Amino acid sequence: MKITVAGEKKEVADGLTVSALIELENVETPQYVTVSVNEEFVDSEGFESTVLREGDEVEFLYFMGGGR
């Protein structure tokens, strides 16, 4: 199926979960990433159980603590 990850279209396996996508995308500090699917945040407890569907738009939001 086709999904969009951070604005980029990708072909992924049917039934892919959010946690599997996190692994596939080599997300840095995966335990602290915020994930949105179709402009809704997914609770981190729901990463395992959230199955992605064709056309889903996924975003990863990262902590960025620098500034000074």
Q: Which residues bind another protein (CB under 8 A)?
A: 6-7, 29, 31-32, 34, 36, 39-41, 59, 61-68
Nearer CB in complex with another protein: 14/64 = 64
Query: What minimum distance in Å lies between the beta carbon of 50 and another protein?
Result: 15
What b/e readout covers 27-44, taking b as 16+ CB neighbours within 10 angstroms?
Answer: beeeeebebebeeeebee
User: In which residue are the tokens 């199955």 written?
Assistant: 51
Report in angstroms how near the CB of residue 27 gets to another protein at its nearest.
13
